[in-house]
Chain A
Amino acid sequence: MTQLQLEGLDQAHCLDVLSRAQAEEVKQFAEELIPSLGEIEVLYNRTGLTMLPMQEPVKGTMFYLGEVLIAEAWVRISDGEGYAACLGRDVEQALALALIDAANLAGLAQDQIAAFVKLQAAASHQADDDLLRQVEATRVEMETFEWLISK
């Protein structure tokens, strides 16, 4: 499938950020968007597994590391469609994400979505930055000591 960015904010960035955001905040925001979306049809909203492959460094073989439980939703609104997935079993969270995605792709409520994504991105970035600074504080420098035995 070719990549197609419809109208709206950068879709991958929005979904990356919002899939990590607090579920309740995402649901609350989606509730606020619903009146502007027109008629909503939920094509599916379910839980299931996604296979997680990895490439190994010995021979470059790709293999399945395991399966990840996800919730996903695909919705249709009057101006287009939206899809999203998140880790876990929270189908309401997935539905909320899909509605935001549909609104974004349709170019609806751009200011509100941009503001919400920016807020969540800042929180996510801050959390990553804090963690990486804490990780950096665990850096060790190894030094080799040589024992010289004098005759």
Chain B
Amino acid sequence: MAYVAVRGGEQAIRQAEKLYRALNHPFGAGLVHAIERCLPYLIDRVMGEGSVYAPDLAALAIAQSGGDLYEAVLLLRAYRSTLPRLSYAEPVTNETMFTVRRISAAFKDIPGGQILGPTLDYSHRILDLDILAGNDPPKDAEPEKAEDPALPAYPRVSDWQRLNGLLAPLPESEPPDPADLPDVTREPITFPAPRAHRLQSLARADTGGVLALGYAGMRGYGLTHPTVNEVRLAYADVRLRHPVTGVIFSAGRVRVSQTEVVGTKADELELGFAATMGWNEVKTISAAMLDMEMDREDVHPAHTDEFVLYHTEAVEASGFCIHYKLPHYVTFNSSLDSIRRVRAHEQASDNGKDVKAPSMEEAPA
């Protein structure tokens, strides 16, 4: 057993941080506010993976980490761990979601119609170099207002499919107490994972990880070939119960996104689903496809729930990866010792000597 101590580490660490700051422009509250106002998708990604809805803190985490998203998520998760859990909100339902975007790739005539909402999906992918030349981007005119407002809430497409007998009805059961739900932040995940664990883990999963595994399924390693039933972006009321009167009220709205994917199985449709805090369509589409895939028998090893959920946990994955930067001198030296011992043994054999493998102490340095 051995270990390596580093001399002068504290001073070197201080200098390293100073050097980072010297090479990069300092930031202040102005940048944090600008990040929050101008980069909503980045904010949402960090909040979703950090599992805390707090746009100003997500912006601060992004600025403070120099834009390293894994570090930003870690900062947010670390801050979250210092906060008490005060309450359990009422469940988010379609009726309480103020929907601003809902599209379906499966049906063109979905109840309520298709609304594109706020999105850059259909924009030209051309860099606006004029901005770098110092020209302000042209001020867009105010978005047009239709004569009649859109509906604030829509049924899920799956509700309509159930009404038409295309999907199995939901089992009837008493809704659980929100305080009694399985919670991956309070208990270890076991496999096969309860559905509540699976969906909570996907909601806070690493976007890139979910996309990579989901994309593998889409390209051909998957057993399912689903279609997007609906993608929805909305504001959800955070509804709390008043401790004095028991009245339920909204403490404000948070951005949420959800995706249903639909496939065929025997003589009926089957669904996959995912949702997350913030607006992140790539994540929910990929996660919904993985949700469906994970339910299949004989699924590809990379699409089992254990594989998916363990390997898309952003903080654990990035933390494990970067720990390899830490000194591994003793463990690596033992590997070198092994190589030297084997080589010495082989050389001795080649020389016709009947020797046993040398012990570590006997091996040449």
Q: Do A and B come from one complex?
A: yes
- Complex: A63 Cα to B242 Cα, angstroms: 22
B86 partner residues in chain A, CB cutoff 8 A = 46, 48-50, 70, 72, 85
B247 partner residues in chain A, CB cutoff 8 A = 3-5, 11-12, 15
The residue that A66 contacts in the complex, of B52, B85, B179, with Cβ under 8 A, is B52
* Contact B83 A69, beta carbon cutoff 8 Å: yes
- Complex: A26 Cα to B346 Cα, angstroms: 82
The interface size of chain A toward B, counting residues with CB under 8 Å, comes to: 68
> Does any Cβ of A come within 8 Å of B181's Cβ?
yes
* Contact A140 B171, beta carbon cutoff 8 Å: no
* Contact A62 B53, beta carbon cutoff 8 Å: no
* Contact A56 B275, beta carbon cutoff 8 Å: yes
* Contact A129 B149, beta carbon cutoff 8 Å: yes
* Contact B275 A87, beta carbon cutoff 8 Å: no
A6 partner residues in chain B, CB cutoff 8 A = 245
- Complex: A46 Cα to B200 Cα, angstroms: 26
* Contact A62 B181, beta carbon cutoff 8 Å: yes
- Complex: A12 Cα to B251 Cα, angstroms: 10
A137 partner residues in chain B, CB cutoff 8 A = 143-146
> Does any Cβ of A come within 8 Å of B223's Cβ?
no
B291 partner residues in chain A, CB cutoff 8 A = 58
Contact residues, A72-127 vs B (CB, 8 A): 72, 74, 80-89, 101, 105
* Contact B196 A87, beta carbon cutoff 8 Å: no
The residue that B109 contacts in the complex, of A1, A55, A81, A142, with Cβ under 8 A, is A142
> Does any Cβ of A come within 8 Å of B88's Cβ?
yes
A47 partner residues in chain B, CB cutoff 8 A = 83
Listed from nearest, the 9 A-B pairs whose CB atoms lie closest are A142-B108, A132-B149, A133-B145, A136-B146, A87-B252, A48-B86, A15-B249, A136-B150, A1-B246
- Besides A12-B247, A66-B53, A101-B242, 10 other CB < 8 A contacts? A15-B249, A54-B92, A54-B256, A57-B260, A59-B171, A60-B170, A64-B183, A65-B203, A66-B47, A129-B149
